[in-house]
Amino acid sequence: MAYKTQQSKSVRDFFLKHKNTIITADKLVLYLERKGIAISRATVYRHLKTLCEEGFINRIELLDNSHGYRYSDKQKKNRNVLLLKCSQCNMVMKKRYAPLREMAIEIEDLTGFRVSRDEIVLTGLCNKCKRKKN
């Protein structure tokens, strides 16, 4: 796994493991440092911004005018969707597939390209047409 992807995974993992915790960016940097993950404040901010855009976390205004972040279970729909298209009958099956999200982040780390709609079309044979072939 690429180094940068490991970093973004660590940020995601924090929120998945602490679903009810509100954490500031600074505290998150400290938490990751304690886990032995060297990550700059700027990088943490970048990951938090991306996760907010995805709806994976919410940005929450705190009383002291700073802000924190918390896991959100209201993730945007139509994300992480695999479209399985049958080349024989043109049937399209939609399937949610969580690893697509990780892949979209890795693509941005590698190329700078931000995937806004992580949807992948795979072409093949549906169960019905597969049976007909045999």
Distances (CA, A) of 17 to 4, 5, 10, 95, 122: 20, 18, 10, 25, 32
Distance CA 20, CA 28 (A): 14
Among 60, 82, 84, 86, binds Zn ion (CB under 5 A): 86
Binding residues for Zn ion, rule CB under 5 A, total 6
User: Beta partners for 84?
Assistant: 93, 122
Question: Does position 129 bind Zn ion by CB under 5 A?
Answer: yes
The least CB distance from residue 130 to Zn ion, in Å, is 8
Question: Does position 83 bind Zn ion by CB under 5 A?
Answer: no
The tally of CA atoms less than 13 A away on the side-chain side of residue 17 is 8
Looking at 4-12, 29-37, 44-52, 79-87, which segment touches Zn ion (CB under 5 A)?
79-87
Chain contacts with Zn ion (rule: CB under 5 A): 86, 88-89, 91, 126, 129
